[in-house]
């Protein structure tokens, strides 16, 4: 395991002390395939890595195509994320047995030792070094599998606000824009504070720089992504200040806020959403449970009454608000009564859709899991219990 002082030495160790046939390998453009498991924040980070690799001379290829470099950005939140990681690595090596395989993301931070046992890995990059991953690759002309995986990892993740070089590489008119990382709320079911560290924000000027470049590439909608985006704070400026600044970019038509905690949404943001011509009238606000006892056990920061009051206020202030939520079932202590309470709240509140999760205990001892389905308002009452 490499600490911060050893990371620079790894740049040499990975790339320059193996017997590459450099002359033979310089002739062809090297191909890179990137895949993402997990959330919009992971997708935003993968897009930034893709942009950097293109600048480094790689030709990006799609999933399942022959490749020389495979970068996998992993998740450790959902139940199948760890097995999905292993599956994707095996599948890639079947069609590209000589591909250099680099794994980063949340599972690379929380499950690094387990990943070292996965055959075919060449580089494992923890959270602290994730966005610098291309710096630790061999030069494109010198890609070659290693006899054992290099590991760049440290437990402590920087708490300072940050900048991100580059611009996300997207094919659609919608682009994810990373504005925040980490979480300090410490919900009892969530591994994210251990996978991504404490909450911190991206400097506002750097967010605007990437947003302007995304707009110049034709992206009309920006989705503000993070772990706890409502906690955004940069030099005294809030998420609302950031939204207002982004609205000043003429080429941007829509701004959408991704999942946001109910306790972090001020009235001023709702008021602005109600009148803005660019900020989408949309909120995805996790509820998790409709039972106060379960909410306490989850270490959530609200009661059912608090949450319902917030929804009533939001719907009253924002005309035609699209409202989504997360629900978790099977949390320890949830019986028929607690489940019925959640069902009742979910039926009573004006949700457009649910994302339904199932509790599971991860190998780290933390927990959380997402089921394979969502429910829309149209079919939720016909689907029975989640």
pLDDT at 85: 86
| Neighbour tally for 356: CB within 10 Å | 21
pLDDT at 360: 79
pLDDT at 380: 39
Residues of the chain with pLDDT under 50: 4-5, 8-27, 364-365, 370-374, 377-386
pLDDT at 77: 74
Q: Provide the residue ranges of all domains of the chain, joining segments of one domain with +.
A: 4-152, 174-382
Sheet order of strands, 150-152 included:
59-60, 31-36, 69-74, 100-105, 123-125, 150-152
Q: What share of the chain is helix, strand, coil (3-state, %, to 5)?
A: 40, 20, 40
DSSP label at residue 138? P
- In CATH, 174-382 is 3.40.50.300: no
- CA–chain centroid gap for 359, Å, is 19
* CA separation for the pair 65, 17 (Å, rounded): 29
Residues in a beta bridge with 234: 237
pLDDT at 16: 37
Q: Which is the CATH superfamily of the domain at 4-152?
A: Methylthiotransferase, N-terminal domain (3.40.50.12160)
Residues 6+ apart with CB under 8 A from 170: 47, 176, 214, 217, 219
* CA separation for the pair 168, 171 (Å, rounded): 10
Closest of 160, 180, 190, 156 to residue 301, by C-alpha: 190
* CA separation for the pair 104, 124 (Å, rounded): 6
- For tokens 């250099």, what's the residue? 100
DSSP label at residue 367? B
DSSP string, 57-81: TPEE--TTS--SEEEEEE-SSSTTH
- For tokens 């070094």, what's the residue? 129
pLDDT at 66: 96
pLDDT at 17: 38
């Amino acid at each position: 395991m490499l600490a911060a002082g050893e990371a620079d030495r790894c740049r040499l160790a990975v790339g320059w002390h193996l017997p590459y046939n450099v002359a033979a390998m310089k002739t062809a453009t090297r191909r890179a395939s990137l895949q993402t498991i997990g959330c919009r924040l992971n997708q935003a980070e993968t897009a930034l890595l893709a942009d950097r690799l293109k600048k480094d001379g790689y030709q990006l290829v799609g999933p399942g195509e022959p490749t020389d470099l495979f970068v996998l950005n992993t998740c450790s939140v959902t139940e199948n994320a760890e097995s999905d990681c292993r599956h994707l690595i095996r599948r890639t090596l079947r069609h590209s047995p000589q591909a250099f395989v680099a794994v980063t993301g949340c599972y690379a931070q929380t499950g690094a030792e387990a990943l070292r046992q996965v055959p075919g890995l060449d580089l494992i990059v923890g959270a602290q070094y994730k966005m610098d991953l291309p710096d630790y690759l061999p030069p494109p002309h010198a890609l070659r599998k290693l006899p054992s995986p290099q590991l760049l990892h440290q437990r402590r993740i920087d708490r300072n606000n940050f900048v991100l070089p580059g611009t996300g590489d997207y094919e659609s008119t919608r682009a994810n824009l990373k504005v925040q990382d980490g979480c300090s709320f410490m919900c009892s079911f969530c591994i994210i504070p251990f996978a991504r560290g404490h909450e911190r924000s991206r400097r506002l000027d750097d967010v605007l720089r990437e947003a302007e470049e995304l707009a110049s590439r034709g992206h009309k909608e920006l989705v503000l992504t993070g772990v706890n985006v409502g906690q955004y704070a940069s030099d005294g400026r809030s998420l609302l200040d950031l939204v207002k600044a982004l609205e000043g970019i003429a080429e941007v038509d829509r701004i959408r806020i991704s999942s946001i905690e109910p306790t972090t949404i001020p009235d001023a943001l709702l008021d602005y959403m109600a009148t803005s011509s660019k900020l989408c009238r949309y909120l995805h606000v996790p509820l998790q449970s409709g039972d106060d006892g379960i909410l306490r056990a989850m270490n959530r920061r609200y009661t059912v009454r608090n949450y319902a009051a917030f929804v009533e206020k939001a719907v009253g202030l924002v005309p035609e608000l699209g409202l989504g939520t997360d629900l978790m079932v099977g949390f320890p202590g949830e019986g028929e009564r607690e489940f019925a309470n959640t069902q009742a709240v979910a039926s009573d509140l004006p949700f457009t859709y649910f994302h339904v999760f199932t509790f599971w205990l991860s190998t780290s001892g933390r927990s959380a899991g997402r089921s394979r389905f969502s429910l829309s308002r149209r079919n939720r009452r016909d689907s029975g219990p989640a």
